[in-house]
Structure 1
């Protein structure tokens, strides 16, 4: 017998509420959220509110005890949202889908079951060869947050991190220029009768645009440099004619650095054809007591003086009389805001995942998600990532029909 509006199926009447519960359980996901082992990492991909939305749709979420403390959420908050609190990493890594922030450690990959689906950042400065090769051996499906695109060919996770870090960079600059932090004792901005602070921003993407807007709002004099004239045109249209913009003209760039109080490096290096690095000679010409903030330490650094720093080296140091701020993952300063932003992106994605029924179905249904896959059933499928590990990669299409 056909289904009716009251839920009549094969001669039986089933309440609509029960039908909803049946549909929820159809493609139930088992999601694991481990505690990050890096002592400086506070962010989490899902907040309790996000977990509540997923468990409300019938999905199971395992949360390792203490995972939410960095964003001021206790285990009780997650438990009340429907999550199952587990006490050890071994338990949480038994989930089918793992949601991490940082790339996995080799010990974490060892705990995963074969064919697990892993979501994480792809910060190559923290990703070890041993962990990557073990993922291959375990036939892991791996997705990089920074590479996931949306319907408009934008990168939502990368963009939201850039926006947060762009805003935070101006806050950091304001702190470090003050006497309290041992700076020159100048106000970031301007007041009547006093020359405004000069801020130079290298990179006119999301981070650069947000940083420029914040600095202009404080009254600073802002100059933005980029090699893409279209980006410069866009930022000029967004922020107005009071903003100085220029391509990488050597003389113009050198004059800007000589007078700058703050230089912010915000170039993007993920999946780009060219990599521009600010020469050490330019930093040497800066005023004593000036400040350099590198927002791209996770991608290798924007300046010759900050490139390829080892984890053991200080993240705040002085060179040529210029203070360098090179702390990775600046969004950890506002970890709760960052986690809420991540949740806004991943709840709809995970619900769509549940509807698709499998990772293969999701890849086929969503071209933007597809771009974030860098390993499929243990096979490298993204040249940006595999080249870093001196390995070859093949097209994802080659494996979709085979596995």
Structure 2
């Protein structure tokens, strides 16, 4: 199989979809890997390392998209990349289609097979390709939140952990999944007071069992969210429904009730955001805006700020699935691997993921009928 790795073009995105070790494994098994020149530079990987691993360097994306049967990316294709996609080509990347009607329609029109990292799901409900980036994003949410709480960045001028005689900051986290756990872990480690809300009481019980420090767990409902948001210095949105648009848990009225100079970091922005005033995604070049006196950080590719860590963490997990797709072809691979099958969002003009179809009011076609 011919596998293509183009350079990411999303603003501030320095990750790359394959590292030299993965290239070497694919080439060893008889596959041809095309890598765009400079694709790994942002992650500290040189072209020479790819060549030594057996990759064929290409000057631009046209050659890669034109020849590859399987396109490996980190982020969803942008509008200028859509015309390069062709019918039957397999696109393996983070897609986040539920909040993006234009991209969904483009993939349907191009007739590609779109397999989304974020909806690959094992039988126990875990999301193996979303987890490593959720770990990074959760930890970074606290890091960037602490930065924007500084007065020089427009915040309230609060040190997250406080000092003796001065209270620590109040960090409120919506969602106790992978992002929420990692955010809580870092915030507690810095000495903050942490409130974490979730609808799953068993998950909250787990949080109390494994985390130590100034932690409060609260069942998520409108009343409790409204109270917690009001006293938050740093509010982190960490809600996820796999493949679906994130629910709006925090209303604009709730944001109005927040303290002047408080900070919101909505990690759920790539699925539409769970906070009503997060009405657009931002970039690493221009990451924040202020609304109702509250700083909003809404970068949709938070892990892209630490690309070396993120690239290796991601490709450690994607490579086994890439090998399956390359060795068996996508049809046989999804037939034999239910987790991979759940990642298939679109096939030849049909939506094969129920949550994506529901988000856009489109017809849903079960995968077994589309294959």
Task: Answer yes or no: is 1:99 the counterpart of 2:68.
Answer: no
Cα offset for 1:45?
Answer: 1.5
Cα shift readout 1:150-169 (whole Å, capped 9, x = no counterpart):
35431112222211100001
Matches within 5 A, 1:152-301: 152-240=124-212, 242-271=214-243, 275-301=247-273
Structure 1 residues 86 and 294, CA gap change in structure 2 (3 angstroms):
same
Q: What is the alpha-carbon distance in structure 2 between the residues aligned to residue 174 and residue 234 of structure 1?
A: 26
- Asked if the contact 2:119–2:343 (Cα under 8 Å) also holds between the matched residues in 1, the reply is yes
Cα offset for 1:343?
Answer: 1.0
Q: How many pairs are equivalent?
A: 369
Which has the larger displacement, 85-94 or 53-62? 53-62
Match of 2:83 in 1: 110
SS at match of 1:225: strand
Q: What is the alpha-carbon distance in structure 2 between the residues aligned to residue 41 and residue 371 of structure 1?
A: 26
5+ long unaligned stretches in structure 2:
none
Cα shift readout 1:30-78 (whole Å, capped 9, x = no counterpart):
1100112223222112122322232233221100112112212222221
Cα offset for 1:378?
Answer: 3.5
Cα offset for 1:190?
Answer: 3.2
SS at match of 1:80: helix
Q: Among residues 343, 352, 356, which one is paired with 1:372 in the alignment?
A: 343
Q: What is the alpha-carbon distance in structure 2 between the residues aligned to residue 66 and residue 73 of structure 1?
A: 8
- What CA RMSD, in Å, does the superposition of the two structures yield over aligned residues? 2.5
Structure 1 residues 96 and 250, CA gap change in structure 2 (3 angstroms):
closer
Cα shift readout 1:111-130 (whole Å, capped 9, x = no counterpart):
2343111112123388563x
Q: What is the alpha-carbon distance in structure 2 between the residues aligned to residue 105 and residue 286 of structure 1?
A: 35
Cα offset for 1:278?
Answer: 0.3
Q: What is the alpha-carbon distance in structure 2 between the residues aligned to residue 153 and residue 167 of structure 1?
A: 22
Match of 2:329 in 1: 358
Structure 1 residues 47 and 224, CA gap change in structure 2 (3 angstroms):
same
Structure 1 residues 227 and 307, CA gap change in structure 2 (3 angstroms):
farther
Q: Among residues 111, 121, 124, which one is paired with 2:94 in the alignment?
A: 121
Q: What is the alpha-carbon distance in structure 2 between the residues aligned to residue 346 and residue 212 of structure 1?
A: 26
- Asked if the contact 2:97–2:243 (Cα under 8 Å) also holds between the matched residues in 1, the reply is no
SS at match of 2:306: helix
Match of 2:278 in 1: 306
Matches within 5 A, 1:34-113: 34-93=6-65, 94-113=67-86
Q: What is the alpha-carbon distance in structure 2 between the residues aligned to residue 274 and residue 68 of structure 1?
A: 31
Q: What is the alpha-carbon distance in structure 1 between the residues aligned to residue 149 and residue 106 of structure 2?
A: 45
Q: What is the alpha-carbon distance in structure 2 between the residues aligned to residue 125 and residue 361 of structure 1?
A: 26
Match of 1:385 in 2: 356
Task: Answer yes or no: is 1:399 the counterpart of 2:353.
Answer: no
- Asked if the contact 1:103–1:127 (Cα under 8 Å) also holds between the matched residues in 2, the reply is no
Q: What is the alpha-carbon distance in structure 2 between the residues aligned to residue 274 and residue 339 of structure 1?
A: 25
Q: Which has the larger radius of gyration?
A: 1
Q: What is the alpha-carbon distance in structure 2 between the residues aligned to residue 164 and residue 325 of structure 1?
A: 16
Match of 1:341 in 2: 313
Q: What is the alpha-carbon distance in structure 1 between the residues aligned to residue 177 and residue 309 of structure 2?
A: 21
Cα offset for 1:182?
Answer: 3.7
Structure 1 residues 354 and 337, CA gap change in structure 2 (3 angstroms):
same
- Asked if the contact 1:102–1:120 (Cα under 8 Å) also holds between the matched residues in 2, the reply is yes
Cα offset for 1:387?
Answer: 3.8
Which has the larger displacement, 158-167 or 108-117? 108-117
